[in-house]
Every structure is written in C-alpha cells, then in structure tokens.
C-alpha cells in the first residue's frame, strides 16, 4: 500500500495514522495481512527521512512501559497481557517457568515477549553500534549483533524494570549484567539481564507482530456535539 493512494479522512492524515495504515495492510474482510516491511513502498533512506521518530530507540522504552503499566505484576507462571500502544491493542506474554544453564549454574528467568511495532530498526552504525556481529544464537535466526556496552544506556525503562525485580535493598554491592542482541533483518531486539548472586535473569524480547483489533476501529476519533452540529450544517 502506498501513501499516495491511501484515502483517509482529512482529520486522520497525521503522520502516525499514515505510518500505521501503511504498516498494517488489511484484506477485503478487514483482517490484517503480514506487516508491510517497506512501509508504503519506501526504502530505508526515505523511511528515515519521513518517519525519523520511529527509528529512535526510545520507542522500545515507551512500548515496554505501556506493557508494564497494563499489569502490576509478572508473578504468574505464564500469562497473556493486552495493552495499548499508539492507539493500537497488542498482546504480550510472559513466563516464569524458563530455566537454563549459565556459568555452570542453573538459572531461572522471567521471559517476556512483546511486539516491536512502532519501531523501525536502524542499520548498525546508524544510531546503534555492535561490539560483535555474526552471532548464531537462535536456531532459526542467524547472524545476530551484540550491541556495545554503552548502548545499554539507551534502554533506561528496561534497565529500571530489571533492577527493581532483581536487586534487593539489602545488597548494595550486588551487580547486574546486561546484554542486548539485535537483528535488523529479522526485526528482533532481545534485552537480557542477569543477577549472578541469585541466579535469576530477565529476558525481554521484542518481536514483529500486529495489533489485535482492526486498525481503523482503534483510530476512531471523538467529536463533540458542537462539532457534529457543525458537520451537519456543513460548516467544516
């Protein structure tokens, strides 16, 4: 779907509306098709110029915070959480049943999976920097990049969440380890935190997805009775 032939009401021609309308094409029944990776047929440089705010890593922080605000706990064994970001409803899931071996110890992990929609992945070197590349850490997705140490600072919402859950007030000398894996082509960002003293970890994985409800339903706008009267009188 191109931006030029998308017919929308005058009040809805805002950049966010146009971005999501092109991002989530629908079929004749209104069901979502696969997310459009080209976003209206635009290539990387054109997208960077038209929607610079969507390449900002702070979108990841904001998306995650809307999930956290939608639930006051992540304490069930496993659960689905519905939340709203940029007027669109998404489904996230989490599990406290994950275990793995690291440094010859068995760890337990809170594993959170949520959508990355609203975020466009900058190329490496264009706002994000890799300390290592060509990492094969996932059976179906190869050639990951590990972001450099300082890039962890660009995810304050995720760092704070992990610190609140993993660090104890009576452990002032306790430390956390962080790693961020990044895959531009697969549209994946995996943020991981480790607390060695307790052998507990948190994994926050942003994956490509799509909203739960029809796009246009989520973007319905309220009109006051005065506005309605003006419309009827053809004053606007």
Res 236: pLDDT: 44
Domain locations in the chain as residue ranges: 55-218
Confidence of residue 3 (pLDDT cuts 50, 70, 90): very low
Using only C-alpha atoms, the chain has a radius of gyration, in whole angstroms, of: 21
Res 86: pLDDT: 85
Q: Strand locations in the chain, DSSP E?
A: 78-85, 88-102, 105-115, 130-135, 144-147, 177-183, 188-195, 200-207
Question: Residue 127, SS3?
Answer: coil
Whether pLDDT at 83 is above 50: yes
Q: In whole angstroms, give the CA distance from residue 207 to residue 121.
A: 12
In the chain, where does DSSP find H-type helix?
A: 15-23, 44-50, 58-70, 156-166, 215-218, 225-232
pLDDT in tens, 20-47: 877 877 777 767 777 666 776 788 898 8
């Amino acid at each position: 779907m191109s931006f030029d032939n998308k017919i929308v009401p005058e009040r809805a021609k805002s950049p966010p509306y146009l971005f999501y309308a092109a991002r989530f094409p629908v079929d004749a029944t209104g069901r979502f098709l696969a997310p459009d990776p080209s976003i209206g047929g635009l290539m990387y440089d054109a997208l960077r110029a038209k929607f610079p705010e969507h390449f900002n890593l702070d979108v990841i922080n904001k998306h995650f915070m809307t999930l956290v605000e939608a639930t006051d706990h992540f304490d069930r064994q496993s659960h689905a959480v519905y939340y709203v970001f940029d007027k669109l409803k998404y489904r996230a899931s989490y599990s406290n049943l994950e275990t793995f071996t690291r440094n010859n110890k068995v760890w337990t992990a809170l594993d959170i999976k949520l959508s990355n929609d609203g975020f466009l992945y900058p190329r490496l070197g264009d706002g994000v920097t890799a300390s290592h590349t060509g990492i094969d850490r996932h059976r179906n997705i190869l050639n990951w990049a590990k972001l450099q140490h300082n890039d962890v600072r660009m995810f304050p919402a995720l760092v704070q969440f992990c610190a609140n859950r993993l660090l104890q007030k009576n452990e002032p000398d306790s430390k956390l380890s962080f790693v961020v894996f990044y895959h531009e082509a697969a549209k994946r960002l995996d943020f991981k935190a480790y607390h060695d003293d307790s052998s507990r970890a948190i994994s926050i994985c942003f994956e490509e997805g799509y909203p739960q409800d029809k796009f246009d339903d989520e973007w319905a706008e309220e009109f006051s009775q005065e506005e309605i009267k003006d419309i009827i009188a053809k004053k606007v």
